[in-house]
Amino acid sequence: MVYAKRFDGRKFDELRKIEAEVGIIPNADGSARFKIGKTEAIVGVYGPKEMHPKFLQNPRKGTLRCKYDMISFSVNDRARPGPSRRSQELGLVIASALEPVCLLNDFPKLIVDVFIEIPQADAGTRCAAICAASMALADAGIPMKDLVAAVAVGKIGDKICLDINKEEEDYDGPGGATDIPIAYSPVENKLTLLQLDGKIKGEDLTKAVEMGIKGAKKIYEIQKIALKKKYKVDEILGKKI
Amino acid sequence: MNKLIVASREVAVPGDLIAEGMNFVAGKNTYRKDEKIYSNRLGLVDVRGSVIKVIPLSGRYMPQKEDLIIGEVKEVGFNSWQVDIGAPFTANLYMSEGTTTYIRKDEDLSRYFNVGDKLIGRIISCTSTGSLQITCKGPGLKKIKGGLIIKINPNKVPRAIGKKGSMITMIKELTNTEIIVGQNGWVWINGDAMDILKAKKAIELIDKKGHVKGLTDAIKNMLEKDSRIKPVK
C-alpha cells in the first residue's frame, strides 16, 4: 500500500492546528506555550543572571542554556522522569538552534536559562520547543535579531509531508518514514537547525526543506501575533480606550 | 523609497521590519540590514525625526552609572556591604561610601547597615565584568526606615516617573505619601497605611498597563474617586 492520503486527513503541505500564548508563568522573566496538534511545549526563561558554577562563565559573551524535559505522562508509555541521554542532546540542539539569533554580547559572565517542559508529545517536540523558546526569549526582553520558527518535515513512503505526527513518524510501509526537523529565521533567511533521521534522496531533501521553510513562515506569523497580543489593552479601570 | 512600516507607539517584536530606506537612522534596540531597519527587542517603536528606536517593554534591570537605586543589604563584610539591587551582580557598598560619620578601626559595620536593611543609593561605577560600586552619601541617599517597598518592571520606571516627574508628583499629592522610584524598579512608599495602599494600587497599575496612552488621566480619576472614601477608624 502506498501512502496516498495522510492518516489525519490533512493535505500534504498543511500544518496541524496551532495555539500560541505568551506570559503564562508570572514568576519567570519570559514564558510561552506553543501547541501544534497534540504536541505541546511550555517554556520559562530566567535571566540574564550570574552564571554558576563560575568556571563555566564566558567573559566575552553571555551563555544560553536550554533544559529539555518530557513530563512522565507526555507519552503513552510512561517516560522515565529526569535527565536522559536524549533530553541532554535535545537541550544542546535547541540551544544551538536559538543562539544564532540571540545577541548575547551585552551579557558577559551571565547566563540566560531556558527551561522547556513537554506536557504532551505527538512527534515534533523539538520543533515545538524551539518555537516556544524563541517566543519566551523575546518576552523576557533578550535582544534578538529575529524569532525562530521550527517545523518537522517528513518523507512518508514516497510523499513529502509537512508537520508529521507520531502516527506518520512510526509508518513502516514501503519507503519507510524519514523525519527532518527544520528551524528557520525569516529575516536572516537562514536555517538554524537541520536534522535528518532516515533515508532521503538529495533532490527530495531540497524539496522537503523548501516545504519546511514555507510552513515555518506561517508559524512565524502566528508567533508574532501571540507576542503582540500580550500588550494589547482594551480598557483601563473598566473604561474602554 | 522611505517608508515607515510600524507606526510610532506600536508594539514591535524581534525581527519586525520597522522602516525601509536610507533616510532613517537605526537607534537603540534596532539594527540595519541593507536598506531595512529591524527591531531586535520586544518594545514600543519610537520615531523622533529620522531616528528610530525601540523602548523595551520587558527585561531585567541592567545597571548604569549614576542610577538612583533602592537595595537590600545581603552581607556585612570587614570593610564593605554587599547589596542586592535586582541586577545580575550584587553591588558593593564600600565602608567610606556608606556613611558620613567616622568609622573607627575594627568597628562592627552592622551598626550602620545590618543584613536586611534597605537603602537608597546611587551607582558610582559599573563594568561589564561584574564590578558594581554604589554610594549612600549624597542628597536624598539614606537608609530606609518604615514604609513599603514594591518591585515593578524596571522598564516601566520612566513611565512611573512621567515627564519631569509629572506622574509621581501627582500620585504623591493625591495620596499624601512620600515615594522614591529606583531605576532598578524598586519603589519605596512612605506615609499613612491607607495612603500607602492607595499609592501601591496606582503604581501597580502603571506596572501592568504602562504602555497604554492616557494612563495619567485614568490614574488621576481613580485616586480622586478613592479619596472620597474615608478610612474607617
Grid cell at residue B111: 551598626
Q: Which CATH architecture has domain B3-56?
A: Beta Barrel (2.40)
Q: Which residue of A has its CA nearest to B206?
A: A236
Chain A environment of B214 (Cβ under 8 Å): 236, 241
- Residue B221, chain A, CB below 8 Å: the answer is yes
Give yes or no on whether B3-56 and B68-143 have one common fold: yes
Among the CATH numbers 3.30.1370.10, 3.30.70.100, 3.30.420.40, 3.20.20.10, which is that of B148-227?
3.30.1370.10
Q: What is the pLDDT of residues A35-87, one digit of tens each?
A: 999 999 999 999 899 999 999 999 999 999 999 999 999 999 999 999 999 99
Mean pLDDT of A218-236: 88
Contacts of B29 in chain A (CB under 8 A): 143
User: Is 70 exceeded by the pLDDT of residue A207?
Assistant: yes
For residue range A160-202, list pLDDT tens digits in order: 999 999 999 999 888 889 999 999 999 999 999 999 999 999 9
- Residue A147: other Cβ atoms inside 10 A: 25
The pLDDT score that the predictor gives to residue A236 is: 62
Mean pLDDT of B183-198: 94
Cβ contacts of A103 on chain B, cutoff 8 Å: 40
- Among candidates A108, A228, A241 on the partner chain, residue whose Cβ is nearest the Cβ of B129: A108
Give pLDDT, residue B225: 81
**Dist CA A21 CA B209 (whole Å):** 18
More confident residue, A112 or B127: A112
The domains of chain A are located at 18-228
User: Hey, which bits of B11-141 come out as E strands?
Assistant: 11-12, 17-20, 25-26, 30-33, 36-39, 43-48, 51-56, 68-76, 80-84, 91-94, 118-126, 132-135
Residues in chain A: 241
Asked if B184 and B63 count as a contact pair (C-beta separation under 8 A), the reply is yes
Compute the C-alpha angle B95/B98/B99, nearest 5°. 110
Closest to A150 measured CA to CA, from A68, A67, A216, A223: A216
Of the candidate CATH numbers 3.30.365.10, 3.30.230.70, 3.30.200.20, 2.40.30.10, the domain formed by A18-228 belongs to 3.30.230.70
Phi, psi of A68 (to 5 degrees): -100, 135
Question: What is the residue extent of each domain of chain B?
Answer: 3-56, 68-143, 148-227
Residue B128 near chain A (CB below 8 Å): yes
A6-42 pLDDT, tens per residue?
Answer: 999 999 999 999 999 999 999 999 999 999 999 999 9
**What mean pLDDT do residues A99-118 have?**
95
Coil, strand or helix at B5: coil
Nearest to A25 by CA among A154, A174, A135: A135
Give chain B's count of helices (H) and strands (E): 5, 17
- Is A236's CB within 8 Å of B128's CB? no
Grade residue A239 by pLDDT with cuts at 50, 70 and 90: low
**Which chain B residues are closer than 8 Å to A49 by Cβ?**
60, 88
Preferred mutation among A187, A220, A232, A239 to probe B, highest tally of B CBs within 10 A: A187
Question: Does the pLDDT of residue B116 top 80, yes or no?
Answer: yes
**pLDDT at position A91 over 60:** yes
pLDDT at B3: 85
User: Above 60 in pLDDT, residue B229?
Assistant: no
CATH homologous superfamily of B68-143: Nucleic acid-binding proteins (2.40.50.140)
Q: Do B59 and A107 touch (CB under 8 A)?
A: no
CB atoms within 10 A of CB B118: 18
Burial degree of B201 (CB within 10 A; 0-12, 13-18, 19+): middle
- Whether the upstream peptide bond of residue A48 has omega within 30° of 0, thus cis, is yes
User: pLDDT tens across A124-149, in order?
Assistant: 999 999 999 999 999 999 999 999 99
